[in-house]
Amino acid sequence: MNTLDQQPVPWWRLGAAWIGGTVVVALLGWKEVTLLPSLSAAFNTIALGLLLAGYGAIRRQREVLHRNLMIGALVASVLFLESYLVHHYQVGHVQFRGTGVVRLVYYPVLISHVVLAAVVPFLALGVIVLGLRDRRDRHRRLARWTLPLWIYVSITGVVIYWLLYHYPVASSASLETTTGVLWLGEKVKIKWVP
């Protein structure tokens, strides 16, 4: 059996993970702010993986593993929030440059994500506190609502990141025939032989 399945993760390890992640976020925010959106997406993806694994653990009645994974998901979500706030403090608002149909997808996803992201931290904290206090009935009732919302927020956070930073924006493409470089936005350039 795995040690995560036998005993809870010591609190000092969770604190060390949180402090270590906070130091990484602070250093990147100070030194290389352009990496923070990718770091935020990574923390969101880690939280999603831990949420799904935690759900699987409780379905198999592995309560200690479930508790450890869900607390890990909370730590990953807190680190996401820290990196997100540091990034937006440093660079301000990031404008979505997509056009056409993708805008019709982006804004409803963004609005639903923002609204639910404002609610999920309170629900998640409530579910975890109820679980740690062994109030199983209330924990289960609240978790039935919290888990799908938390998963949705994690998934849409990564989708929004991808649309903001990696979706090709054709309308801003410019062609420089003298240098043989096609610019797509700020980060993507394609060289070709004329």
CATH label of the domain that carries residue 114: 1.20.120
Q: How far is residue 56's CA from residue 65's CA, in Å, rounded to a whole number?
A: 10
pLDDT on residue 30: 58
pLDDT on residue 148: 97
Q: Give the number of domains in the chain.
A: 1
The sign of the dihedral angle between the CA atoms of 168, 29, 81, 94 is: negative
pLDDT on residue 154: 96
Sheet of strand 174-176: strand arrangement: 174-176, 181-184, 188-191
Q: Is residue 185 left, alpha or beta, with left meaning phi > 0 and alpha meaning psi from -120 to 50?
A: left
Q: What is the largest CA-CA distance in the chain?
A: 69
Compute mean pLDDT per 10 residues along the chain, 194 residues long, and list them: 54 62 63 78 94 96 92 90 84 84 91 95 93 92 96 95 80 40 43 40
pLDDT on residue 22: 67
pLDDT on residue 69: 92
* Chain centre to alpha carbon of residue 160: 10
pLDDT on residue 85: 85
pLDDT on residue 25: 62
pLDDT on residue 29: 58
Structural domain that includes position 169: 3-191
Question: Is residue 149 exposed (0-12), middle (13-18) or buried (19+ Cβ within 10 Å)?
Answer: middle
